[in-house]
A and B are shown apart, each in its own frame.
Chain A
Amino acid sequence: MRFEATLNGRPVSWEIAPHAFLTEVLRAHGYVGTKRGCETGDCGACAVLLDGLEVNSCVLLAAQASGHALTTIEGLGTMDHPHPAQDAFVDAGAIQCGFCTPGMVMATVALCGDNASPTADDARAALGGHLCRCTGYVKPIEAVLDAAARLRGDAQRG
């Protein structure tokens, strides 16, 4: 079947299997920043944004995402122009192995889209569905708060 969606701001049209999950389809097309950690929707390494809402792509049929606007980690920033959330994770020392990082960054972007001034508890809740075995979450929580501050700064500067 056909998969038609807006991916990172551009239209895509792919042939997919009806039973294919979104993680597999994205990875097969080179969007490998979307990670597979559990494939049961428990670890959040596969998180992407669907119409701005964070979803675990490993348990979402690609067919269900067809017709929607999707954002993956590749759609956020580049080496020369990282997204403020990506910079915040680097600066906070929130990245150790980096495998869960794309999912956490997506969660951060989703949170900041809803709530420009999150508290530490908001940050915890936003990361609550993202398992990380390296950091103990201390620096990722700092990174979320710093990302929010940077985004507020960007908004003020217009």
Chain B
Amino acid sequence: MRKGDEMTKEFKTPDGWDTGAASMGEYERFKTVNKSERRVDALKLALGKGTFADDELPAGTLHVKVLWSPHAHAKITRIDVSRAEKMPGVRCVLHHGNVPRVPHTTAGQGFPEPSPWDAYMFDDVVRFVGDRVCAVGAETEADAMRALEVIDVEYALLPAIFDPEEALKPGAVRIHAGPDPRGIADTSKNLAAHLHAVVGDPERGFADSDLVVENEYRVGYHQQSPIEPHVAVTWLDENNRLTVKVATQVPFHSRRILAQVLEIPVSRIRVIKPRIGGGFGGKQEILVEDIPALVTLRTGRPARLYYTRAEQLVSARTRHPAIVRLKTGFKKDGTMVVNQMKAIGNTGAYGAHALTVFSCTGGKALPLYRAKHYLFEAHVAYTNLPIAGAFRGYGGPQGFFATEIQMDIAAERLGLDPIEIRRMNMLRPGDDNPLAVALGEGREGYPQIIRSCGLEDCIAKGKEAIGWHRRGTFDTSGPGAGHLRRGMGMVLLMHGSGIPGIDMASAFLKLNDDGSFNLLVGATDIGTGSDTILSQIAAEALRVPLDKIVIYSSDTDLTPFDTGAYASSTTYITGNAVKKAAEGTLRQLIAAAAKIWECEELGLQAHDVAIWHPDGRRLTYGEICISTFYNHNQHQIMDHASHLSYECPPPFSAHFCEIEVDTETGGVKVVKYVAAVDCGVAINPKAAEGQTEGGTSISLGWALSEEFRFDESGRMQNAGFDGYKIPSALDIPEFQSILVPTYEPTGPFGAKSVSEIPTDGPAPILSNAIYDAIGVRLLEIPFTPEKVLAAWRAKVAGR
């Protein structure tokens, strides 16, 4: 018997704790859920229909261009826009001297936002190369750009800081001084956010450990880079209300923060989310709405702000670079005793998501392995570099980069198999996550006890698919070994499903004459497939085929509230709201049928778009609708529901990969990648696979090729897709997604989240695989050929 098997046997769930095991039979009963239905929105996209924000502009739209700071840190001592204002076509010029100065955060989060209010529409201080200085609204883009050239700005240069550890030192120049900003942890130390959480007694834990492993891990800038850049189009409707059509993940937060920044009531703003061309967290930001909105309010004209790719790379948002110092104590047998993570984060010039991203760095990565003692601390510093923010994974990738390499290092030192040391320590159903309380979303969190957990299956299926038994059999060191060295790596991962106690979503359903339903949700399908998945949940609950559901998302005038597409929340949180609304609607259908038949409701059944009487009679949903519209018991059959969860069931995953390192070039080729994931019941398996493949690909780019290169003045040197290399089809390995079935009792039809967890895997797994291939341990991404080759040569020279 292997060590891990004993662990499984010892393990028991608390009595009566529902882990979903008893509900696995539900898989047999699903009609629409757990089926790879065609996406409800895919054909129009394949046809190239104009559904994106920039595809249709109102007549007379002004085009807005922004003047970006050429300096990393400076005070604007004079700005003269008089020549620009007289240029042909120019209708509006905005700068710090003529707009309201309202401290706010651009982070689209629940209210009050846990991010500091340190941003202004325009400020008299610029804090990075690419900060806003001034904006021009003109008849054409060319007019606006010509006007930008004649704006006269004088800057008094300030010292600039590009290193977060330098920024935190006493005496460093203050990046956010003055009385205005709110919610900054400590302006005198450039400390945007600080986190500190302790479980147990870490020092005692280290004293009790037989082996203490301590390492420093570094990750750099990474940009969301949706192929559709940021864009907003604004206009005044016939009632003089401001309409904002914007590529956003968070229409309701956009409306609220716009009202704050523009100092107008929420009731005067309508935010429309059209089709969105990807977001990945970048569009969880109120980034491009305010400037065109103010141009519209000032001129009465429609306005459009559209970021070029270079503007998007420099002036939008990124993943927070981080230095993660991890110290872990183990017993000789591999039992983890204590895990201590101290992170230094770089939030760039503004603190969007600074606190909460790093809360997830510790909060997602540390709890995967049970220890008696934990310590997590993060100092998130301002620097004069591009702004970090939300990025799919949201702190998780930074954390797992450290923890999953550390597990491999510890396994080797203890003489254990890397999979077995993980199995010994990993979470199982019924386990508590003590860090969940200590690290909430900017306030104390809620206890989390694991219900569904398919980690064992993920490991078993992943091992089999990659052929893990071949690990160690590659001839990598002998005289016959060529310059191409093979290796394998693996990691375990967990994430979350929504923000417990905070993320709230709602749904509205109404019945139509032909038995179809309108489903209105505030949730934002940004390419995630949520329009399809939420429709599938409604169809399943209403016992109708998918084509009976007509979904609309989302518009702050028409659809009910939803926090938005982030935190892996839509399937789990909005899905539950949709399910409740559908169940309520179904109850009304049954009640209406009982009235028509003048019978008891008990015994009536719903299936095949009809209510069935025990005697075999039936009323179709369409007949019931027409009866309730026009004949008797007249009313609209409709329901709405909201959902909030104090539980945040983690999806779990095991990634495996095989790579080939070229020791002559340093090139790392990923040969095969396997991602086995437990996302509960996959509402749409093909969509869940797509999330897994896409999320993995994003972080393969971060691990191998994506980096921001700056010159000494803090200017990004590679602001374009020619220099900032996101993966192409030629870079992608043979890929296998494996959906491991479990049933999450708190999820809609057993579902958990799936979108973020894959982003956690590629960076640590490649480090582990490179070590397996060439015996070099790399603790800083990206693993560029230069870096790999230098490390390999150093190893050979040292031999």
Binding site for B on A (CB under 8 A): 30, 32-40, 42-43, 45, 72-74, 76-79, 82, 86-87, 89-91, 93, 95-102, 105, 123-125, 127-141
Contacts and interface: CB of A to CB of B under 8 A. Distances in A.
Interface in B6-44: 36, 38-39, 41-44
B278 A77 contact: no
Contact of B227 (A74, A97, A129): A97
B687 interface: yes
Most chain B beta-carbon neighbours within 10 Å: one of A30, A91, A129, A138: A138
A125 to B, nearest CB: 7
Nearest to A105: B46
B42 A98 contact: yes
B227 A132 contact: yes
Contacts of B54: 36
Nearest to B41: A98
Contact of A93 (B39, B227, B229, B527): B39
B48 interface: yes
18 contacts: A32-B52, A35-B228, A40-B309, A42-B720, A74-B48, A76-B47, A89-B42, A91-B38, A99-B227, A101-B45, A102-B48, A127-B729, A133-B280, A134-B278, A136-B690, A137-B697, A138-B735, A139-B693
Contacts of A124: 729-730, 732
A33 B42 contact: no
A97 B38 CA distance: 14
Interface residues of B, number: 55
Interface string B712-749: 00000000111000111110100101000000000000
Interface string B213-246: 0000000000011111100000000000000000
Given A42-B722, A96-B278, 13 more contacts: A33-B48, A37-B227, A90-B42, A95-B45, A96-B694, A98-B41, A98-B527, A124-B730, A124-B732, A133-B278, A136-B695, A139-B686, A140-B729
A46 to B, nearest CB: 11
A124 B731 CA distance: 9
A-B complex: 4 closest residue pairs judged by Cβ atoms? A33-B48, A97-B527, A98-B45, A99-B277
Contacts of A35: 52, 227-228, 277
Decide if the interface of chain B is mainly helix, strand, loop or mixed: loop
B47 A138 contact: no
Nearest to A42: B721
Contact of B42 (A95, A128, A137, A140): A95
A74 B38 CA distance: 21
A97 B36 contact: no
Nearest to B46: A86
B299 interface: no
Nearest to B313: A38
A139 B689 CA distance: 9
A45 B735 CA distance: 24
B36 A38 contact: no
A91 B54 CA distance: 27
B150 to A, nearest CB: 21
A134 B527 contact: yes
Contact of B50 (A33, A93, A101, A129): A33
Given A102-B48, A128-B729, A135 B309 contact: no
Given A35-B227, A89-B42, A136 B696 contact: yes
Nearest to A135: B694
B47 A77 contact: yes
Interface string B46-78: 111110101110000000000000000000000
Contacts of B229: 36-37
Given A33-B50, A98-B527, A129-B728, A135 B693 contact: yes
A71 B224 CA distance: 31
A137 B42 CA distance: 16
Nearest to A98: B45
B61 to A, nearest CB: 12
B136 interface: no
A78 B47 contact: yes
A40 B693 contact: no
Contacts of A76: 47
Interface string B261-280: 00000000000000111101
A129 to B, nearest CB: 7
A61 B721 CA distance: 20
Contacts of B636: none
B750 interface: no
Contacts of A137: 693, 697, 727-729, 732
B575 interface: no
Interface in B607-657: none
A30 B224 CA distance: 29
Contacts of A127: 728-729
Given A93-B686, A136-B697, A99 B730 contact: no
A127 to B, nearest CB: 4
B567 to A, nearest CB: 18
Nearest to B55: A32
Contact of A37 (B42, B309, B526): B309
Contacts of B309: 37-40, 42-43
Contacts of B720: 38, 40, 42
B690 A135 contact: yes
B398 to A, nearest CB: 20
Contacts of A99: 52, 226-228, 277-278, 527
A45 B309 CA distance: 13
B698 interface: yes
Contacts of A30: 50
A82 B694 contact: no
Contacts of A96: 278, 527-529, 690, 694
A37 to B, nearest CB: 4
Contacts of B735: 136, 138
Contact of A74 (B47, B224, B694): B47
Contacts of B728: 127-131, 137
A141 B43 CA distance: 18
A96 to B, nearest CB: 4
Given A137-B729, A141-B729, A79 B47 contact: yes
A64 B649 CA distance: 56
B698 A133 contact: yes
A68 B49 CA distance: 24
B39 A90 contact: yes
B543 to A, nearest CB: 25
A89 B694 contact: no
Contacts of B665: none
Contact of A32 (B56, B526, B729): B56
B308 interface: yes
A125 B730 contact: yes
Contacts of B729: 123-125, 127-128, 130, 132, 137, 140-141
Given A98-B41, A98-B277, A37 B228 contact: yes
Contacts of B694: 96, 133-136
A97 B526 contact: yes
